[in-house]
Amino acid sequence: MTDPDQLRAATAVGVLASEEAHLALLSSIVDVARAIFGARASSIFLLDEDTDELVFEAASGLGSAELVGSRFPSGTGIAGWVLATRQPLVLEDVSKDPRFARDLAEATGYVPRALMAVPLLHEERALGVLEVLDRPDRARSPLEEMDLLGLFAGQAAIALDLLLAARRARAVLAGSGGELMAVARVAEALDGLEGEARGAGLRLLEALDEVLRKN
């Protein structure tokens, strides 16, 4: 029989919250960030620790449709520097900065003139980077703009952490055979129920948990 602790852990870490929902949240964050700053593009990179790469998880604006899912070495360009140093950065002319990876930008189909980048930190872990590209001149000072971008970064870091938890849960479920996957499907179905049906479903899960505790 499947280890009860493994079953409860796999269910708890993210089965109920779908990976699609977390990706949609990231997409909303970059859309709103681009709109608030009046920027031409915005993107969120996730650090893939297994491959040591940064992955485009969400993008908004010019060339965004082709970017999601593409990846590059984690030490590359401005995003790589921000990730490694955990320091935000504002550049008004990227062509004058040696850290800017022009070849990478050209590969994405869009070469920015200016950018802001901030690390996405959660519980002392560097999960990724948020970038805003080519915002217009504004009355706000760079410090004020970084403070505002930091608010988006906080939300994005939480969303990335939830996304990673959901993916870890999915990996556990995929490697455990049919039993855990069946429980995951039940849990997902319960999340969409309301009223008496939801209460009955929760009682069913509680009964299942009690049976597992006795074995």
**Domains of the chain, CATH where assigned:** 4-14+171-213 (no CATH), 19-165 (3.30.450.40)
pTM of the predicted model as reported, rounded to 2 decimal places: 0.74
Q: CA gyration radius for the chain?
A: 21
Nearest residue to 45 (alpha-carbon basis) of 163, 143, 168 = 163
Q: pLDDT over 70 for what percent of the chain?
A: 71
Sign of CA dihedral 107, 26, 78, 69: negative
**Is residue 7 within 8 Å of 212, Cβ to Cβ?**
yes
Split at pLDDT 50, 70, 90, the class of 12 is very low
**Is residue 116 within 8 Å of 89, Cβ to Cβ?**
yes
Task: Identify the pLDDT of residue 176.
Answer: 58
Nearest residue to 41 (alpha-carbon basis) of 128, 101, 98, 109 = 109
Q: Encode pLDDT of 110-145 as tens digits.
A: 889 999 999 999 988 999 999 999 988 765 677 788
For residue 156, pLDDT over 80 is answered with yes
CB-neighbour burial class of residue 191 (10 A; exposed 0-12, middle 13-18, buried 19+): middle
Q: Encode pLDDT of 169-205 as tens digits.
A: 777 666 655 555 556 566 666 666 677 776 776 677 6
Q: Which residue has the tokens 């950018």?
A: 115
**3 state SS for 148-213:** HHHHHHHHHHHHHHHHHHHHHHHHHHHCCCHHHHHHHHHHHHHHCCCHHHHHHHHHHHHHHHHHHH
Provide the mean pLDDT of the chain.
Answer: 80
